[in-house]
Amino acid sequence: MSSNTMSSNTMSPKNNTKSTRKSGHCEVCCFCFMLLFFLGLIVGSIAAFVVWIVALVNGKNLVITEKCPDNQLWEWLLVWGLVTFVLVGGNTKKNKDEENNDCLSSGCKICCNMIIVICSIVLCWWGNEQLENDNNCIERNYNNTVFYDTAIVFWWFHFIALCITVGILGLLILGLVMYLVLVNCKCGRNLMDQIYSKNSKNHSEDDLIADIISVDAKNEGKSDLLEV
């Protein structure tokens, strides 16, 4: 047997052990990252729930209607917390019952998500109106309270999350519209056919090269056996 084949045979187990070690380290790192992420999410949710309860109690003790009679920021904070924590609990709950009609279930999920986005927009607008009501009356009178600080932080968190969600939905809708235009337009169909033909040609060339390499490897193995 030639020296090249012996060196390749001796090096291959080492390369295999190194690759398995690297893959094992990557899996451990990914598992630790996901575990820390879920633990942080759970701890953050519990802390936000506790702060929400404390803010509601503090706002109730302030008797906001005495200085700002038309302000409904306390009611907004109550509704925001109920909607947010109910949605978080509903998303984390596992559905054990499997539905047979996938199309119907996916359609219901899309409609429910659109309703949730619309309700979130209305809720964000309502909170902004209460914060700016009567020339920022709530800010002038209750600026340094736990209730106001919690409400303003939760409103900004809700606003940023809503902007990200609407942005992602806008990009998805834009991509869907462009795809439909390309499919229904003659120029778009020709362009997609050209792209598909190029991809298929590249795949066929790669398969041909892989077949040639495998045949050459087999021939080299046979020649090594003949040399022995």
Are 198 and 163 in a shared domain? no
Contact criterion met (CB below 8 Å) for 75 and 160: no
Nearest partner of 82 among 92, 94, 90, judged by Cα: 90
pLDDT digits (tens, 9 = 90+) for 64-91: 888 888 889 999 999 999 988 887 766 6
Instruction: Please write the tens of the pLDDT for every residue from 4-17.
Output: 444 444 445 555 55
Do 143 and 44 share a structural domain? Answer: yes
Question: Are residues 31 and 49 both part of a single domain?
Answer: yes
Does 96 have pLDDT greater than 50? no
Of 74-78, 83-87, 119-123, 211-215, the one with minimum mean pLDDT is 211-215
- Give the per-residue pLDDT at 184: 76
26 and 86 belong to one structural domain: yes
Confidence of residue 177 (pLDDT cuts 50, 70, 90): confident
Banded model confidence at residue 155, pLDDT cuts 50, 70, 90: very high
In a domain, 12, yes or no: no
The answer to whether residues 126 and 223 belong to one domain is no
Distance, CA of 158 to CA of 164 (rounded, Å): 10
Does the residue 4 lie in any domain? Answer: no
Is residue 80 in some structural domain? yes
Same domain, 175 and 189: no
pLDDT grade for 124, boundaries at 50, 70 and 90: very high
Q: Which of 116, 149, 117, 131 is nearest to 76 (CA)?
A: 131
Q: What pLDDT is stored for residue 86 in this prediction?
A: 81
The answer as to whether 14 is a domain residue is: no
Residue 111 resides in a domain: yes
Indicate if 78 and 43 belong to the same structural domain: yes
Interval 114-142 mean pLDDT: 89
H runs (alpha helix) in the chain: 3-62, 73-92, 102-131, 133-141, 146-184, 186-227
- Rounded to the nearest integer, the mean pLDDT of the chain is 75
| Whether 107 and 197 share a structural domain | no
| Among 56, 65, 126, CA closest to 85 | 56
Q: Does residue 64 contact residue 126 with C-beta atoms inside 8 Å? A: no
Does residue 149 belong to any structural domain of this protein?
Answer: yes
pLDDT of 136 higher than 70: yes
Residues 144 and 195 in one domain: no
What tokens were used for 24? 């094992």
Give the number of domains in the chain: 2
pLDDT over 70 for what percent of the chain? 62
Residues 217 and 114 in one domain: no
Q: State the Cα–Cα distance between residues 105 and 79, nearest whole angstrom.
A: 28
Is there a domain that residue 143 lies in?
yes
| 155 domain-assigned | yes
Same domain? 191 vs 175 = no
pTM above 0.75, yes or no: no
Domain, as residue range, for 175? 20-91+103-179
| Terminal alpha carbon distance of the chain | 5
- Do residues 114 and 196 share a domain? no
Predicted pLDDT of residue 56: 93
Task: Please indicate whether residue 184 or residue 102 has the higher confidence score (pLDDT).
Answer: 184
pLDDT digits (tens, 9 = 90+) for 6-51: 444 444 555 555 556 556 667 778 888 888 888 888 888 889 899 9
